[in-house]
Structure 1
Amino acid sequence: MPVPFFNVLNGGVHSGSKMGFQETMIAPVGASSLTQAVRMGCEVYQQLKKVIVEKFGPSAIDIGDEGGFTPPISQPHEALDLLVEAVSLAGYTGRIKFALDPASTEFYSDGIYDIGFKDDKPSLQKPKHLTDLYRSLLQNYPIVLLEDPFAETDWGSWAVFNKECPVELVGDDLLATNTKYVQKANDTRACNSMLLKINQIGTISEAIGAANLAYSFDWSVFVSHRSGETTDDFIADLAVGLRTGHIKSGAPCRGERVAKYNRLMDIEADLLGKGEECLYAGSQFRVASKY
């Protein structure tokens, strides 16, 4: 069963906050089952709500497109500090890891990144300086995954960073669930994981083909919802069937997000009810396809 990555703080173009990074996620890798992982995610989400109210007041708990909170913060370390506190209050320190999706294409132009593109003051960064920021975040927080840390056209920065990146480096906009770009990324050593979005490529068969190509390169595959969603829960079955080991469907909030997590719990309960083996990927989420 896949590890659910909950997007509990929304930023970027998916929210009205000043946070430039689009997604700040929690991953309950220390759970013993998918159902327990969902419970852990929900508990941290509620603790996060309390932390935000205490720091910024009750008006700061609006949510974004994917159900995550949108407090008045603008820097990634501020978001991660909120998560550290919420996880601690929930009693899950060490059992829950973090992930970031900056969605960097949204704030890239002419070789420069502006991570303050939603703030009053621009924060212009060359690729090298953005890389230094990621290094610092990886050193100071329990981050296990970075998605789209660079723009979809900045292939050189991807390849340079991938040489040293100690965590899963996921291509979303870079790859578009397209075998042509997956092949190019492998040839250039740009990343080590593919985000799988069915309607990004158009058909289930093409999406599975891209996943199989990624697996052939010894990559990971990360199943994803979209920011604009319905209550269709097929991607839950897809993640289990392809043994991707991890999935993201937003925060444990809003019906179109929760539907996928509910379906995963139903699958787990059904398998266990039939006496079948049902292992939770946990800390092995990157290599779940090999088991």
Structure 2
Amino acid sequence: MKITKVFGYQVLDSRGRPTVAASISLTDGSTHTARVPSGASTGSHEAKELRDTGSKHAEKFFAGASVQLAVANINEKIAPLLIEDQISLSSVDNKLSELDPSIDHAQLGANATLAVSLAAALADAHGQNKSLARYFTAEKQLLIPMPMVNILSGGAHANRTMDIQDILIIPVGAKSFTQALSWIVAIREMAAKLGKESGAVTNLIADEGGLAIAFDSVEKACEFVTKSIEKVGLKVGTEVALALDVAATQFFDGNKYNFATTNKSYTSAEFVKYIGDLTSNQPIISIEDPFAEDDWQSWQNFSEIAPKKLQVMGDDLLTTNLDRLNQAIASKSANAILIKANQNGLVTSTLNVLKQARANNFNTVVSARSGENEDSWLADLAVGWSAGQIKVGSTHGSERNAKWNRLLELEATEECRFLNPFN
């Protein structure tokens, strides 16, 4: 099947900010559309999305955040290269790389390249009469990932109600994704109930659907979540464990880590000890970005003393970037990576990063962003790539539940097995 049309346009993400959509039409009359996400807590080493700040395309009411430059790049530069080609994801991604050979896709904009790349993946899957999940895993049993779900949010996602970004739960004792999600919903609703009973403000929902409740310390926030787990009748640690997204780059000034809520500052060495004590004293099995994105020595120092079972995950550290992943592998600075397609800019090279991580015994967690949309391709990628884990946000907001519902659909309709990397 050949490509007959490639078209880009501007849409809104879940925060009301502009983002890019791209459609690819084929000779059978079908059209395949993908919308890209955008982050709030972004690493400086991510692929560069293109926005209109300072350009003649900047739209007044979007304060320069419009994406008409990226859209124009799709319609004026990318489309003419692809029309009349046979649909092939690898061919499309190769042409995008040739058109913009920069590492960070700064010329075309990673939001432009990813939108076209994702639309090509969907179109290529259609051409083979497959779902996107089956496009990447054609015949074997599909592996449904373990969910990692926000309960409390702070940092850049919730107006700094906590110094760290998120406290999440992982239903390690669940036997199926359906059971896992039912536990998560119950815990999230119990946390909202307990927050209201304590007088805490819970009507502020964070970007990713977590509860934005203020706490005096990270420890108290962890204790609140463990209480919520216990109140629904589940066992902390053996059935449901905690995960933290620290997003430490957000409060690192280049010399010290500064907690605003406790008014405490830590040197890198002191913060390594603090994180070590925190993960020892709380039922935490995964910690993301405990140190700043370029504080490699702290990552290495912590990884040397961390329990082997603790998942030490790089997001801002690694930014779905092959070179940075290889540096982490060589320096033994982490043992898990967050996989975000928009940090990379192309579907195929995102998958290459995941494959390299897996080849070096890293856990892989396919992740959404704070600015999401109603597309569900992320769930298919996590399943098709056998990622093992998925991080979408909470269970509030249709842009989050679209992904959870797609996983429920796959588990109900396909030959599947629920993965538990923590067994």
Q: TM-score, normalization: structure 2?
A: 0.63
Is the CA contact 1:18–1:74 (under 8 Å) kept in the aligned structure 2?
Answer: no
Say yes or no: does 1:110 pair with 2:254: yes
Q: Pairwise mapping of residues 1-291 of structure 1 onto structure 2 (< 5 A)? A: 1-57=144-200, 59-93=201-235, 94-116=238-260, 119=261, 122-166=263-307, 167-271=310-414, 276=415, 278-282=416-420, 284-285=421-422
Aligned-partner SS, 1:32: coil
The structure-2 alpha-carbon separation of the partners of 1:17 and 1:151, relative to structure 1 and needing over 3 Å to count, comes to: closer
CA RMSD of aligned residues (A): 1.4
Is the CA contact 1:195–1:221 (under 8 Å) kept in the aligned structure 2?
Answer: yes
- Per-residue CA deviations over 1:46-94 (Å, capped at 9, x if unaligned) read 111111111124x334211011111121411111111111000111113
Mapped to 1, the partners of 2:409 and 2:202 lie a distance apart of: 33
Which stretches of structure 1, 4 residues or longer, exceed 4 Å deviation after superposition? none
Shift of 1:285: 4.7
Which residue in the other structure is 2:10 paired with?
none
Aligned-partner SS, 1:163: helix
Is the CA contact 1:244–1:285 (under 8 Å) kept in the aligned structure 2?
Answer: no
**Which range is displaced more, 9-18 or 167-176?**
9-18
Letter in 1 for 2:312: L
Is the CA contact 1:245–1:285 (under 8 Å) kept in the aligned structure 2?
Answer: no
Mapped to 2, the partners of 1:187 and 1:159 lie a distance apart of: 10
Mapped to 1, the partners of 2:170 and 2:273 lie a distance apart of: 24
Unaligned runs of 5+ in 1: 287-291
- Per-residue CA deviations over 1:101-136 (Å, capped at 9, x if unaligned) read 1100111112211122xx4x6321112222222222
**Which range is displaced more, 134-143 or 257-266?**
134-143
Letter in 1 for 2:240: I
Is the CA contact 1:198–1:204 (under 8 Å) kept in the aligned structure 2?
Answer: yes
Mapped to 1, the partners of 2:213 and 2:241 lie a distance apart of: 21
Which residue in the other structure is 2:75 paired with?
none
Q: How many residues align?
A: 276
Shift of 1:42: 0.1
- Per-residue CA deviations over 1:190-220 (Å, capped at 9, x if unaligned) read 1111110001110111100100111111111
Mapped to 2, the partners of 1:19 and 1:138 lie a distance apart of: 17
- Per-residue CA deviations over 1:155-187 (Å, capped at 9, x if unaligned) read 000011111212011110111101010111111
Q: Max radius of gyration: which structure? A: 2
Is the CA contact 2:153–2:161 (under 8 Å) kept in the aligned structure 1?
Answer: no
Is the CA contact 1:246–1:285 (under 8 Å) kept in the aligned structure 2?
Answer: no
Shift of 1:17: 4.3
- Per-residue CA deviations over 1:206-262 (Å, capped at 9, x if unaligned) read 100100111111111111000111111111111111111111111111111111111
Letter in 1 for 2:213: P
Is the CA contact 2:338–2:365 (under 8 Å) kept in the aligned structure 1?
Answer: yes
User: Quick check: which one's helix share is greater?
Assistant: 1
Letter in 2 for 1:79: A
Is the CA contact 2:272–2:301 (under 8 Å) kept in the aligned structure 1?
Answer: no
Aligned-partner SS, 2:286: strand
Letter in 2 for 1:72: A
Is the CA contact 1:171–1:191 (under 8 Å) kept in the aligned structure 2?
Answer: yes
Letter in 2 for 1:86: S
Aligned-partner SS, 1:60: coil
Mapped to 2, the partners of 1:198 and 1:107 lie a distance apart of: 25
Aligned-partner SS, 2:337: strand
Is the CA contact 1:107–1:114 (under 8 Å) kept in the aligned structure 2?
Answer: yes
Is the CA contact 2:155–2:163 (under 8 Å) kept in the aligned structure 1?
Answer: yes
**Which range is displaced more, 135-144 or 253-262?**
135-144
Mapped to 1, the partners of 2:338 and 2:179 lie a distance apart of: 24
Is the CA contact 1:51–1:85 (under 8 Å) kept in the aligned structure 2?
Answer: no
Letter in 1 for 2:182: R
Is the CA contact 1:52–1:61 (under 8 Å) kept in the aligned structure 2?
Answer: no
Which residue in the other structure is 1:289 paired with?
none
Is the CA contact 2:171–2:184 (under 8 Å) kept in the aligned structure 1?
Answer: yes
Aligned-partner SS, 1:125: strand
